[in-house]
């Protein structure tokens, strides 16, 4: 299990065979979950900028169970539609 923080949002990712997953594969999955495109992602783990090491595996950079990774980047669309509430006249 890995934890990903994006702003004030926490996403819990369960990665199977996580040691052999490449960083670029993680970035693809993060794009699917957060809608932040891979070209706009900045991933940080213990001071390392992971997006600069796309071909390396999670094991290569020391990411294992319960690791916390921080994602910075703007999503291409809002994940949740805002519901506007206001006074309505009948």
CB 23 within 8 A of CB 4: no
66 or 55: whose pLDDT is higher? 55
Q: What is the domain-level CATH number for residue 41?
A: 3.10.20.90
Q: 22: exposed, middle or buried (C-beta count within 10 Å: 0-12, 13-18, 19+)?
A: middle
pLDDT 10s digits, 44-53:
999 999 999 9
Question: Is this model's pTM higher than 0.85 or not?
Answer: no
Residue 90 placed within a domain: no
CB neighbourhood size of 33 (10 A) = 13
pLDDT of res. 9: 63
pLDDT 10s digits, 7-57:
656 666 666 655 688 999 989 988 888 888 999 999 999 999 999 999 999
Residue 81 placed within a domain: no
C-alpha separations of 25 from 5, 21, 57, 84 in Å = 18, 6, 9, 37
Residue 48 placed within a domain: yes
CB 49 within 8 A of CB 42: yes
Show the domain range for 32. 17-63
Give the total number of structural domains in the chain. Answer: 1
Residue 53 placed within a domain: yes
Residue 68 placed within a domain: no
Count, residues in the chain:
90
Residue 73 placed within a domain: no
pLDDT of res. 85: 46
Residue 87 placed within a domain: no
pLDDT of res. 36: 87
pLDDT of res. 57: 92
Residue 52 placed within a domain: yes
pLDDT of res. 29: 86
């Amino acid at each position: 299990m890995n934890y990903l923080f994006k702003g004030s949002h926490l996403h819990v990712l369960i990665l199977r065979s996580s040691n052999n997953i490449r960083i670029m594969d993680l970035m693809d999955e993060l794009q699917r979950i957060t809608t932040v495109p891979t070209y706009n992602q900045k991933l940080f783990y213990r001071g390392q900028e992971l997006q600069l090491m796309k071909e390396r595996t999670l094991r290569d950079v020391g990411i294992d169970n319960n690791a916390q990774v921080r994602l910075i980047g703007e999503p291409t669309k809002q994940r949740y539609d805002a519901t506007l509430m206001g006074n309505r006249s009948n």
